[in-house]
Amino acid sequence: MTVTRQHVSWAVALCSFLVVGTAAATTPTEDGPRVDFETVDYTDGKDTFQGFVATPVGATAARLPGVLVVHNWMGVSDETRAQAARIAALGYVVFGADVYGKGVRPNGMEQAGQLAGKFKGDRALFRARLLLGLGELAKHTRVDASRMFAVGYCFGGTGVIELARAGAAIKGVVSFHGGLDSPAPADGARITARVLALHGADDPFVPAAEVAAFEKEMATHGVDWQLVKFGGAVHSFSEKAAGNDKSRGAAYDARADARSFQLLGLFLAMP
């Protein structure tokens, strides 16, 4: 494993890691708490991946809860780091997993769709890559492995629910505007984590039948789950880079972003 360190404040992270930042309303202080970033190369013995660790500066506890963050269909990006910084600032060690592999980054939407489609079509491979990232989080010296969570965005939102379906030993998963479908609904029986799905009520990429099937899967298997729909929100509602044109089906929604992040904080803080 290779580690490269970078030290930034949470507020600076949003400026330097994003062309367009995330909601300033979530900044706990005027300057923002400092967050340390470490670039991490890791391997499954065959392929190499490049993720990162984000830790809050000044946290006094020897060990902190850990959060696995799973990127959207563009791979590990400035957006991924900015979201990780928001979460780390709440007092968590965050590991940004790399599902695609080191140096494998889409150059546009067409390639992103192809890469994401590869893993959505091979859930076993998807789960293997996610479990690998979770293992990296668990072995971090500052992480309390008994208090780990997974948070994902769009493609990553689909991923964290797959991680739960794989029976991962984590406290909970949070999906931001992710796909809710499952090729094997019976795998819901393996879920031990609590599940929070944050969903745009007007998301055209997640049809009502898919939402209903997800609800049935969760209920059938007695999962501790919540589905929160944000009225007027479409796909990618937490990502400013999605723009403001809802007619495209994917757009940023400041209200849904702020409210969903508050719900994330409450969910992570639950005993």
Residues 73-115 have pLDDT tens digits of 999 999 999 999 999 999 999 999 999 999 999 999 999 999 9
Range 149-161 average pLDDT: 98
Q: What is the pLDDT of residue 10?
A: 36
Q: What's the CA gap between 53 and 95, in Å, rounded?
A: 5
Q: CB-side exposure of 206: number of CA atoms within 13 Å?
A: 29
Closest by CA position to 84, among listed 96, 75, 73, 99: 96
| Of residues 15 and 89, more confidently modeled | 89
Distances (CA, A) of 194 to 77, 137, 199, 240: 27, 19, 16, 28
Bridge partners of residue 70, in order along the sequence:
97, 152
Q: Which two tokens stand for residue 202?
A: 């007007």
**What tokens does 33 get?**
């708490």
The pTM of the full predicted model, rounded to 2 decimals, is 0.89
Architecture of domain 2-269: 3-Layer(aba) Sandwich (3.40)
pLDDT band at 6 (very low <50, low <70, confident <90, very high): low
How many of the other CB atoms lie within 10 Å of CB of 141?
Answer: 7
Backbone angles phi, psi at 117, to 5 degrees: -60, -35
- Higher-scoring residue by pLDDT: 22, 138: 138
Give the pLDDT mean for 246-266: 98
Q: What percent of the chain has pLDDT over 70?
A: 88
- 114 by Cβ neighbours in 10 Å (0-12 / 13-18 / 19+) ranks as exposed
Per-residue pLDDT band at 19 (split at 50, 70, 90): very low
Q: What are the pLDDT digits (tens) for 115-132? A: 999 999 999 999 999 999
**Alpha-carbon gap, residue 235 to 113, rounded angstroms:** 15
pLDDT reading at 7 higher than 90: no
User: Is residue 20's pLDDT more than 70?
Assistant: no
